[in-house]
Amino acid sequence: MQSLSQSPLDPAFVQNPYPFYERARAAGPFFLWEDYGCISTGNYAVVNALFRDRRLGREVPPEKRMSIPEHLAPFYAVEAHSMLELEPPRHTRLRSLVLRAFTSRRITALAPEIETLTHQLIDALPEGEFDLLTHFGQRLPVIIIARLLGVPEEMGDDLLRWSNAMVGMYQAGRDRAREDAAVAATEAFVGFMRAYVDVRRKSPGDDLITALIAAEQAGEKLNTEELITTCILLLNAGHEATVHSFGNGVKTLLETRTPPTALTPESIEGTVEEILRYDPPLHIFTRQVYEEVEVMGTTLPKGSEIQLLLAAANRDPAAFDTPSKFQPNRPQKPNTSFGAGIHFCVGAPLARLELQIALPLLFQRLPGLRLAAPPRYGNVYHFHGLEQLMVRRD
């Protein structure tokens, strides 16, 4: 296994990590990423196999758990109930209860509302140059997930601020200031959700929080702490990936001068999948190795941690022809952007629906839309999204 060095804090890498991914894939199915001290893989077949291999999982084994610093206790108290960080049987129970409320019917029924909101946000766009993320890309998903859960949409700015601070805990090179900001956001988020759950227990509504309160399986329900964490997870995940996917997607469509035919009803599903493949919002998903595993001649030791490089797998030439080229009409093949197996993102159908509705409407209403400044990605890793998207409407 080759060792490769690449600082995740290098600004050039953050702006364009794909050359490193190509070098890493050329090293074989696995490599040791020295800067993380972690075995990593950007091989499409391996990533898909390990997502589904039950000898690996998300939950840190008891023998590897470290004592939590006192100042981070509020953040990890929430994480302790997150189905994203758990394995069966607790993960099975939580996910089953969530899916009883977060149904495909409930998501599909949002289509008219997403369309109406898209038109309203386009109507409100300023003249001249403006940041499309601030005025549209961030607004649409946070308003929709707020309405879906049943929290006041005027809380949108708070939800965005709390979410951005909390995901800072997963970024490379986090420092004490970022940790303190994440904890403060966590405490504010928990306080808000606890009060709002109490309101919904006393006064049920036609929303996801009420459905989560009512969801029951084999006589079990979500307790209050699980309910609060699940709502925070859904609010964070329900817009974070969509904001990045939208920004990265519009940037790609404009830079490649993709023709309007790619946004027709017949083509939009394939175009969205190509956007997600080509420049996904999340680049790393880690897995814990519970039993020794041999994959493609490489032994993964029990107790080790593996980094699955989603964006690298999505550009594996063994899986996709000319992977570095954006081709909306390429034959559809599952990408790794939303994961796979039992941890496949529950919000993926909503993210796809929002992109499939919003992108065509945006370019229909603003056919002269063009970049007003070179887009720059936010200086963070392993999330991957633009810090702003300055455009001009002609």
- Reading the block at residue 340, the tokens are 């796979």
Separation between Cα atoms, residue 50 and residue 56, nearest integer Å = 7
Q: What is the mean pLDDT of residues 253-265?
A: 97
CB atoms within 10 A of CB 329: 11
pLDDT value of position 100: 86
pLDDT at site 239: 76
User: What would the mean pLDDT of 199-208 be, rounded to a whole number?
Assistant: 91
Q: How many CB atoms lie under 10 A from the CB of residue 206?
A: 8
Give pLDDT, residue 218.
65
For residue 322, name the pLDDT band (cuts at 50, 70, 90). Answer: very high
Query: pLDDT tens across 58-94, in order?
Result: 999 988 888 899 999 999 999 999 999 999 999 999 9
3-state secondary structure the chain: CEEECCCCCCHHHHHCCHHHHHHHHHCCCCEEECCCCEEEECCHHHHHHHHHCCCEECCCCHHHCCCCCHHHHHHHHHHCCCHHHCCCCHHHHHHHHHHHHCCHHHHHCCHHHHHHHHHHHHHCCCCCEEEHHHHHHCHHHHHHHHHHHCCCHHHHHHHHHHHHHHHHHHCCCCCHHHHHHHHHHHHHHHHHHHHHHHHHHHCCCCCHHHHHHHCCECCECCCHHHHHHHHHHHHHHHHHHHHHHHHHHHHHHHHCCCCHHHHCCCCHHHHHHHHHHHCCCECEEEEEECCCEEECCEEECCCCEEEEEHHHHCCCCCCCCCCCCCCCCCCCCCCCCCCCHHHCCCCHHHHHHHHHHHHHHHHHHCCCCEECCCCEECCCCCECCEEECEEECC
* Cβ density class 168-197: b for 16+ within 10 Å, e for less: bbebbeeeeeebebbbebbeebbebbeebb
Q: Is the pLDDT of residue 19 over 70?
A: yes
Percentage of the chain with pLDDT > 70? 99
Task: Decide: residue 49, CB within 10 A, 0-12 exposed, 13-18 middle, 19+ buried.
Answer: middle
b/e per residue 294-317 (b: at least 16 CB within 10 A)? ebeeeebeeebbbbbbbbbbbbbe
Mean pLDDT, residues 13-21 taken together = 97
d(CA 218, CA 211): 16
**134-178 per-position pLDDT tens digit:** 999 999 999 999 999 898 988 888 988 998 899 889 888 889 999
Give, in order, the Cα–Cα distances in Å from 130 to each of 154, 218, 222: 22, 52, 43
For residues 240 and 138, give the distance between their C-alpha atoms in angstroms, rounded to a whole number: 9
pLDDT tens-digit map of 339-375 = 999 999 999 999 999 999 999 999 999 999 999 999 9
Query: Nearest CA to 231 among 275, 273, 186?
Result: 186
Domains delineated in the chain? 2-392 (1.10.630.10)
User: Hey, what are 52's tokens?
Assistant: 């589904």
Which residues, other chains included, contact 109 with Cβ-Cβ below 8 Å and sequence gap of 6+? none
pLDDT at 156: 85
**Inter-axis angle of helices 268-278 and 224-255, nearest 10:** 100
Could you report the per-residue pLDDT of 32-68, keeping only the tens digit for each? 999 999 999 999 999 999 999 999 999 999 888 888 9
Contact in structure between 93 and 220 (CB atoms under 8 Å):
yes
Asked if pLDDT for residue 133 goes beyond 90, the answer is yes
pTM here?
Answer: 0.94
- Report the C-alpha gap between 330 and 57 in whole angstroms: 32
Q: Is the pLDDT of residue 217 over 70?
A: no
